[in-house]
Chain A
Amino acid sequence: MNGTLLLQTLVDGLILGGIFSLSAVGFSLIFGVLGVVNLAHGIFILGGAYLGLALKAALGLDPLAAIPIVFVVVSVIGAALHQTLVSAAVRRGSLMTSLLITFGISLIVRDILILIFGPDIHSLASVWLLNTFHVGGVVVDGARATALIASLALLGLLSLVLYRMKVGRAIRATAQQSFAAGLCGVDAGRVHTLTFGVSAGFAGASGIVIGMINPFSPFDDAYWTLNAFVTVVLGGVGSPVGALLGGLLLGEISTLSSQYIGSRYPNVFIFGALFLMLIVRPNGLLGNAYKGSV
């Protein structure tokens, strides 16, 4: 076995995994805190990417610089959607209602994106991202390196908020015991809206990162939503660390199976890993960060 090739593949998997982690963490938070499976997650990601595209076209803004703006805009949209539609769905009962509403949202937004931007593929790649670096026999291109750094930075930021700041404590408390948290003065409804908004924001920001390295089209949203779900199943719900672990694992599975078994069917392995994990350990490697095992 070619050692350098293995190393390259592992590094590629790490980088891909970092991006998967970032793109999945918002989904994980919503699942952990609200108990909602957000099927609009992928479309938030794409929305962020397209917003970055629009900003670049209109203002000549570099995608990296657009990240904060996109984060804020998508957060606000996410929070608004939660206030109006998602919370209504959750009130109406079953887990499935929020599933269906978020799915409905994804369909509508996807159609809007198609109407505005067209169904074709776009990209956020900038010229300066094409430089490649050689580190110990491994090739990393600028885009991917930047993406990884951005991912880790954003994940770190999220962890900071969740574990060091008061609002983060409120979020975690609501996730564990919303009634008790309410008794301590935490407004669960507000926390939910905040969490949903922030998670959407992270999804949007990750969309820019993804758009920098991959071409994208409005039809990709299902792929990213599913990726997020796989990441959460593999790594555990609700924590950035879980998302990181799950994402890295997913990234490695992707690249390793692509490289050594054939890039024709990476999906079989991803879904296979998902299926296996669900059967063996449904709570993922870390278990549910907030609620413990089922």
Chain B
Amino acid sequence: MGAFNPPIRAGFWALSGLLLLGALVLPFVLAPFHLRLAQQILLFGGMAIGWSLLGGFTSYWSFGHTAFFGLGAFSAGLLSQQLGPEMSVALRLLIGLVFAVVLTLIAAVAIAGPVLKLRGIYFAIAMLAFAEILGEISKTFDFFQGTSGFPLPTLSALGLQKVQLFYFLFLLLFVANVVVFVWLRRSRLGIGLICIGQDEDTAAMLGIPTERYKLVAFVLSAVLTAIGGVLYGYSLGFISSGSVFRIDISLNLILYSMLGGIGTVVGPFVGAAIMIILTQVVLGDLLDLHMMLTGTVLIAMVILAPKGLMGLLHKAWSRRRAAAGEARA
């Protein structure tokens, strides 16, 4: 996309490669508790990046992404039940995944039209309502077994422990999210989306097909979230309404992105890492103070760092460059 994004420097590739290598080694050196933390960070950090495909680019903040999370989990899980114990777990997972993706695609396309006509807070709440409706439906009809929940068979492969295996699956999904995000940002579609986020009417006036572009971002984001739901369900070994249709999942995706920096690829991951480590490790026993801490972090962040941590870093970085420029002059 020409001069819009600078070409990717060699250093970026080197760093990414190094990080990936480190990530691949982690399951063999970390204790299970820490590995589970890493799992969470990868899963929810990755999904936060997926959320950002819509929210970070177009400024359409969905408050109901758990809808797709739950939709993915339930569709894959129920299909797995139907496929029966004769088929291998891995195969059932795969087929379930495809099914979940197709179903989510259809659902996303179905509601995208009307819902993407709403702006700002109305869109956010419409998505919240959508998520709640799906959650309620899963609890209402016995077919979904939502209230009681149903178990999923254990997945094992390659002689790995369960926690290690799912770590790798979450890592894979995380990388997928990152790749999609970076590809999008460097594509013409992504530029159009960013402009939609800046000023949607002007973007349309400049020939950007806003409706179509928003639909694509919406569907991409939905599908990636659904895949997360499928993997999460299998990692829990159990699917119920209460475990996958949760408003705090929706809110956390937003929180992580905001904390780390909306619209950046690293931001949501950093945000997820900080919040998950804070709440799980630092506050592990002080459950009572969870909310107070989250609330304080939120407020501090909005007041001090509205562009998130990456925004702060950016400012510090450009200030250093400006100072260096002046020093030279």
Asked if A278 and B136 make an inter-chain contact with CB atoms under 8 angstroms apart, the answer reads no
Tell me if B247 and A111 are in contact (CB < 8 A). Answer: no
List of A residues within 8 angstroms of B295 by Cβ = 103-108, 111
- Residues of A close to B140: CB separation below 8 A: 264-265, 268
Task: Digitize B111-155: 1 where CB-to-A-CB distance is under 8 Å, 0 elsewhere.
Answer: 000110111111011101110110011011000000000000000
**A89 in contact with B288 (CB, 8 Å):** no
Taking the nearest CB of chain B, how far is it from the CB of A172, in angstroms? 21
Task: Flag whether B291 is at the interface (Cβ < 8 A).
Answer: yes
Partner of B258, one of A95, A100, A107: A100
The residue in chain A whose Cβ has the minimal distance to the Cβ of B300 is A104
Does chain A have a CB within 8 A of B294? yes
Contact residue among A101, A114, A222, A268 (Cβ-Cβ distance under 8 Å from B133): A268
**Does chain A have a CB within 8 A of B242?**
no
B21 contacts A by Cβ under 8 Å:
no
Within 8 Å of chain A (Cβ to Cβ): is B303?
A: yes
Point out the residue from A99, A108, A110, A265 that lies within 8 Å of B136, measured CB to CB.
A265
Does residue B292 face the partner (Cβ distance < 8 Å to A)? yes
Bound Cα distance A149, B129 (Å): 31
Closest to B297 in A: A104
Q: Given A89-B303, A92-B303, A95-B120: A268 and B126 within 8 A (CB)?
A: no
Instruction: Indicate whether A108 sits within 8 Å of B292 (C-beta atoms), given known contacts A100-B302, A265-B136, A271-B132.
Output: yes
Q: A96-B61, A271-B133 are in contact. Are A278 and B122 (CB under 8 A)?
A: yes
In contact, A282 and B118 (Cβ under 8 angstroms): yes
Q: How many A-B residue pairs have CB under 8 A?
A: 105
Cα-based distance from A148 to B265 in the complex (angstroms): 52
- Decide yes or no: A279 and B302 within 8 Å by CB, A107-B295, A268-B136 being known contacts: no
| Contacting pair A104 B137 (CB below 8 A) | no
Q: Is A101 within 8 A of B306, CB to CB?
A: no
Chain A residues within 8 Å of B128, by CB:
226
User: Could you say which of A99, A107, A267, A278 contacts B126, with CB atoms under 8 Å apart?
Assistant: A278
Residues in chain B near residue A278, CB distance under 8 A: 115, 118, 122, 125-126, 129
Report Cα–Cα, A99/B125, bound state, in Å.
12
Tell me, yes or no, whether B289 is within 8 Å of chain A by CB. Answer: yes
A107 touches B298 (CB 8 A): yes
| Chain A residues whose C-beta falls within 8 Å of the C-beta of B297 in the assembled complex | 104
**A window 212-261: CB within 8 A of B:** 222, 226, 229, 233
A107-B129 contact, Cβ under 8 Å, with A95-B120, A264-B140, A265-B136: no
Residue of A nearest to B121 (CB): A37
Interface centre among A37, A95, A107 (most CB of B within 10 A): A107
Are B115 and A279 closer than 8 Å at their CB atoms?
yes
Q: Scoring A residues 257 to 294 as 1 if CB is less than 8 Å from chain B, else 0, what string do you get?
A: 00000001101100110110011001000000000001
Partner of A271 from B122, B136, B292 at Cβ < 8 Å: B136
Chain A hits for B133, CB < 8 A: 268, 271-272, 275
A115 at the interface (CB under 8 A from B): yes
B296 at the interface (CB under 8 A from A): yes
A290 to chain B, nearest CB (A): 16
Interface string of B285-325 (1 = CB under 8 A from A): 00011111011111101110010000000000000000000
Q: Are B292 and A93 in contact (CB under 8 A)?
A: no
Q: Which of B259-294 contact A (CB under 8 A)?
A: 288-292, 294
A92-B303, A101-B299, A107-B291 known; A222+B120 contact, CB < 8 A: no
Of the candidates B119, B132, B258, B290, the one whose C-beta lies within 8 Å of that of A267 is B132
Are B125 and A115 in touch, CB under 8 angstroms? no
Given contacts A107-B294, A111-B292, contact A279 B136 (CB under 8 A): no
Q: For the complex, is A85 an interface residue (Cβ under 8 Å from B)? A: yes
Q: Which one of A85, A108, A233, A265 contacts B291 once the chains associate, using CB atoms below 8 Å?
A: A108
**Cβ contact within 8 Å between B118 and A265:** no
A–B pairs, 15, beta carbons within 8 Å: A89-B303, A94-B59, A97-B302, A104-B295, A105-B299, A108-B296, A111-B295, A264-B140, A274-B126, A278-B122, A278-B125, A279-B115, A279-B117, A279-B126, A282-B118
Which residues in B have some Cβ–Cβ distance to A below 8 Å? 59, 61, 114-115, 117-122, 124-126, 128-130, 132-133, 136-137, 139-140, 247, 251, 258, 288-292, 294-299, 301-303, 306
